[in-house]
Structures are given as structure tokens and as C-alpha cells.
Amino acid sequence: MIVGVPREVKNNESRVAATPAFAAELIKFGHKVYIQTSAGKGSGFKDEQYEKAGAIILGTPEEIYDKSELILKVKEPIAAEYKLIRPGQIIFTYFHFAASRELTEAMIKSRAICIAYETVEKSDKSLPLLMPMSEVAGRMAVQEGAKYLEKPFGGKGKLLGGVPGVKPAKVLVLGGGIVGSNAAKIAAGMGAHVIIMDISVKKLRELEDIMPKNVTTLMSNSGNLTEEIRNADLIVGAVLIPGAKAPHLIKKDMLKLMEPGTVIVDVAVDQGGCIETARPTTHENPVYEVDGILHYCVANMPGAVPVTSTFALTNATLPYALQIANKGWEKAIADNSELKAGLNIAGGNVLNKGVADTFHIELISLDQLYNKKSLAA
């Protein structure tokens, strides 16, 4: 198969979908790999390293998309890329369709095969391709939140861990999954008083067993949430419904309950956000204020640490990319239920329930898709 890796074009996105070693693995299996010039620069890779691995360097995204059957990306295509995608072309990347009707409709119109990293799912319901970036984002949420709590950035002027004789800051984490548990771990390590909320008692028991003593677990319900936001200094939104839009746990009218200078980091913003007032921002302009509350809502947080993130991501995606390249997408998803769960859109049809429900689009099954193809033939 011919595999193409374009340079990421989202604001301050320096990750790359394939390292030179990743390219070498694909080539070892007989695939041709095209890399757009400077695609790996932000992650510390030179074009020469890809060429040494056997890849071919091309100058423009147009060339990459035109020549490739399988496109590997990190972030979802942006408007300038829509016209480059053709029917039947496989796009393997983070899509987060539920956060964007425009993207969803563009990919339906393209009739491409859209396999989303974030919905590839194991039998135990874990998300192996979302997990590494969730780990990065969870840790970064506290790192960034601590910075914006400083007075010059508009925060309360509190040190997260306090000092002897002075209380530490209070960190409230909404969601006990990968993002939330990593955020709680880092916040606790910095000495903060941490409260982590989840709707699952089982999850809270697990967290109780592994978290340090300065982390308190609490059932997530409207009463507890309303009480805890009143004196929280940093709130981390870490709620995920795979493939679907995140629920708004904190409504706009709840901001008035918080103290001015409180910082909200909504990691779920790339799935619509779990804070009603959240809207995607960039690393260039990461924060904004609503009713005295500072919002940090960068949709590609791991892009700020591309060396760490690229290695973490490609370690996870390589086995799946190889299966798609070696077998073609139809055989790959037939043989691997994890990849099957990643198929969101194909041939102009929506196959992911979360996406279909979000935009009230007809949901079809894989069998229905194959039946449509056979009738068309």
C-alpha cells in the first residue's frame, strides 16, 4: 500500500504521525511511504532520517494526498485539506467528529474511509490510541493550570502545593479516567489538595486504592459538584464519552459560584467540552475569561510537547497502521474488532453511534455498508 504522512497544519501542532522508525517498519513490509518535507521537524526528525529509513520526501500536501492510499495524521483534517481527500482514501487520525458538524459533513461528502484513533476500542472498553495522549493531556492540564493560577496570568495568585504553614491550592478533577487520574496524580505530587469525581463507584474504589493521601474521591452528582466548585482553585474537565459529545457538567450560571481567578482547564474541549462556556483555543492564544473565571481550552494540548507525544502516539498506532496497510481496511477491521470500532465514516455513511446521535444523521451498520456497495457494483 502507498502510505502518506502530511505535515500537520493545525495551530502550533508539531507532532507527526510517523517517526523514521515507524516508516522503516512499513517499508519492511513492502509498503511505499511518502513524507511531506519538514513533517517531522517539530518532533526532532530531519527529512534525511526519513530518507535513510527508505521513505520518499515530497514537497506539498497535494502531492502526499494525490499519491497515497492511506493517509496517516495526528489531528483531524482542516478546511484547506478537505478538497485533497478523495473517495475510498483511508484517513487514520484523531477525528473527534462529535465536536464538529463541518468536519463530519466534509468527510461524509468526501466518501473517504475515516478510522478514528479515539474510538479504536479493546474488549475491556479501554481506548489504546487515545490513552497515550490522554496521559500527556492529563499531566499537562495541571502543569498549565498551575501556571495560570499565578497572578500575572489572571489567576488567584496561589502556589499549587502551598508552603509549610500555608494551605495548598484545591484542585477539582471531573472524571476518573486516564486524563483525570493522570491530572490527579500530578496535582497530588505537586502538593495540592485534590478531589476527583466520577459517576462510577467502582472507578472511585480503584482510585482510592492507588492515589496518595492528599487525593479524595467523591461521587459525581449535581449537589456535590455545586458544593465543590465554590472554593476550587483549579478545575480540570476530564469527561469522555467515546465518539460522542461530552456532557456539560458546569453550566454558565454556575461560574458565579466560583471565586474570581479560578482556572478551568477543559481537556474534553476537543469533544465539545464538559464546561458549557468552553470553546477551543490554540497554544498561541490559550486562555480567555468568562465572568472572572479563566478558561484554558487548547484542543491539541499534547502538541506543545511533540517529542514526548509523537513517540507515545506512534508506539501505540504502529501495530494498527500495519494491519490496515498489510490487509486493506476491510480485511483489517474484519480481523480486528478494535479497529472495527474505529471506523466512523465510510463511503459517505456514518457508522459510529455517538457521531450519528450528535448530529441526527442516519446510522448504518457494517453489513448495511457492504450491502450498499454490492448493490452499487
Q: Which of 31, 248, 270, 295 is catalytic?
A: 270
User: DSSP letters of 46-72?
Assistant: -HHHHHHHT-EEES-HHHHHHH-SEEE
Active site residue 96: yes
Amino acid in position 200: S
Angle, in degrees to the nearest 10, between helices 201-210 and 178-189:
30
**How many angstroms separate the CA atoms of 139 and 309, rounded?**
12
Considering only the C-alpha atoms of the chain, give the largest distance between any 2 of them, rounded to a whole number of Å.
Answer: 76
Active site residue 367: no
Q: Which of 31, 96, 193, 295 is catalytic?
A: 96
Alpha-helical runs (H) found in the chain = 20-28, 47-53, 61-67, 79-82, 101-110, 131-148, 178-189, 201-210, 222-228, 306-327, 329-335, 337-342, 353-359, 366-376
Please report where in the chains the cell 450519528 appears, as a residue. Answer: 356
**How many angstroms separate the CA atoms of 91 and 252, rounded?**
36
**How many angstroms separate the CA atoms of 97 and 363, rounded?**
14
**How many angstroms separate the CA atoms of 198 and 48, rounded?**
47
Amino acid in position 339: L
As given in the structure block, the three cell numbers for residue 367 are: 453489513
User: DSSP letters of 55-124?
Assistant: -EEES-HHHHHHH-SEEE-SS---HHHHTT--TT-EEEE---GGG-HHHHHHHHHHT-EEEEGGG---TT
Q: Which are the catalytic amino acids?
A: 96, 270
